[in-house]
Amino acid sequence: MTAKRILIVEDEVLIAISLEAALTDGGFETVGPFNRIDQAVAAVEREMLDGAVLDVNLAGTKVFPVAVALAERNIPFLFLTGYASIQLPEEYRTASVLAKPFHDQEIVDRVEGLVGR
């Protein structure tokens, strides 16, 4: 059985490394991490993906173009945010959101809930 492939879009290096390690340890294959919108959208267009973890704010730029590209391909995703309260656009109000900081098992469980095993 092949591991589910999860795109990571995160601009904070330590968090990106932590995400990658947690997901790999949890049995997933990671794609990325990417810290720019254009790189992440290109990865969505060229890679076979089962799901994605998206930091909402990439150095002041919102990650929503990546979410659009994923949604167009019916690839589930979850948003990560360091904000206590986030104002998501209407189309993402029902999206899965995980607050930073998070525990490794928490991210693994949430991704598993999105894509299965």
Stated pTM of the model = 0.94
Q: Give the strand pairing for 57-58 and 61-62.
A: antiparallel
Superfamily of domain covering 5-115: Response regulator (3.40.50.2300)
Q: What is the pLDDT of residues 25-81, one digit of tens each?
A: 999 999 999 999 999 999 999 999 999 999 999 999 999 999 999 999 999 999 998
| Spatial distance between the Cα atoms of 58 and 62, rounded to a whole number of angstroms | 6
**Confidence grade of residue 103 (pLDDT, cut at 50, 70, 90):** very high
